[in-house]
């Protein structure tokens, strides 16, 4: 592979439970929705506005209301997760080795810049990435391949020569539709949930096993 493309939440950092918690608390506190953890967790992919649409239907909120709720959720998430903010084990060393070898790298995430900046700047890892594609940069979010294809284009690397790192089936499906192989971090979903996706090369809970040493 000539380039690495990383999803962010659940892939580089182990934070998806904090996203689920922030949504559940916000929607129950502000809207009295009564949504359970089990109802919210499966919707944790795509743009924030898409999450609201899946949970409540497309016509429940105005665009302005969705933007306000989305930002309020991110503020709750950041406040709760900030004391725990850390890269997955082994990822810091992996990024440094890839950087030393001159391997181009990108972030391709459904997160808004507010959240991407929170991670990249607080962990001081922005310099590793030549491209960052956020929710604000695409029309269609995962499982549509646009996010990954834009990242590859910005890196000027052919899609088939990019290796994607993901944690959710919809993200791996997006990589498949972009013509990219994927490595799955099992922070959020179990390996059997990806059994219908033939582009998965490897499963791992973090970046410490020998497979990752072979990539760099």
d(CA 137, CA 134): 5
* pLDDT tens for each residue of 118-161: 999 999 999 999 999 999 999 999 999 999 999 999 999 999 99
DSSP conformation letters of 33-67: ----HHHHGGG-SS-HHHHHHHHH-TTSS-HHHHH
The answer to whether residue 34 scores a pLDDT higher than 90 is: no
CA-nearest of 130, 128, 131 to 100 is 128
The predicted model gives 64-85 an average pLDDT of: 93
Task: Classify burial at 56, counting beta carbons within 10 Å of its beta carbon; exposed 0-12, middle 13-18, buried 19 or more.
Answer: middle
pLDDT at position 114: 92
Name the percent of the chain lying above pLDDT 70.
Answer: 100
Confidence of residue 48 (pLDDT cuts 50, 70, 90): confident
Residue entry with tokens 């499982």: 143
Angle between helices 48-56 and 63-81 (to 10 degrees): 110
115 contacts 41 by C-beta, under 8 angstroms = no
The answer to whether residue 175 scores a pLDDT higher than 90 is: yes
Confidence of residue 204 (pLDDT cuts 50, 70, 90): very high
112 contacts 134 by C-beta, under 8 angstroms = yes
d(CA 138, CA 105): 19
Task: Look up the pTM and report it.
Answer: 0.89
The answer to whether residue 44 scores a pLDDT higher than 90 is: no
d(CA 105, CA 40): 31
pLDDT at position 105: 98
pLDDT at position 31: 83
């Amino acid at each position: 592979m000539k380039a690495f493309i990383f999803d962010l939440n659940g892939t580089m950092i182990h934070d998806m439970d904090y996203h689920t918690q922030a949504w559940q608390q916000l929607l129950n506190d502000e809207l009295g929705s009564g949504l359970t953890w089990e109802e919210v967790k499966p919707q944790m992919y795509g743009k924030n506005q898409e999450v609201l649409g899946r949970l409540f239907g497309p016509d429940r909120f105005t665009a302005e209301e969705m933007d306000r709720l989305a930002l309020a959720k991110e503020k709750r998430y950041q406040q709760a997760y900030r004391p725990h903010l850390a890269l997955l084990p082994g990822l810091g060393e992996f990024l440094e080795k890839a950087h030393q070898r001159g391997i181009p790298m990108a972030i391709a995430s459904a997160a808004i810049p507010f959240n991407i900046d929170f991670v990249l700047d607080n962990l001081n890892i922005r310099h590793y990435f030549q491209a960052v594609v956020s929710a604000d940069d695409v029309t269609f979010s995962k499982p549509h391949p646009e996010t990954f294809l834009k990242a590859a284009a910005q890196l000027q690397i052919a899609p088939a020569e990019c290796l994607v790192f993901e944690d959710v089936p919809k993200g791996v499906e997006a990589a498949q539709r972009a013509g990219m192989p994927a490595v799955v971090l099992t922070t959020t979903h179990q390996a059997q949930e990806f059994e219908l996706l033939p582009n998965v090369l490897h499963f791992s809970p973090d970046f410490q096993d020998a497979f990752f040493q072979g990539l760099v």
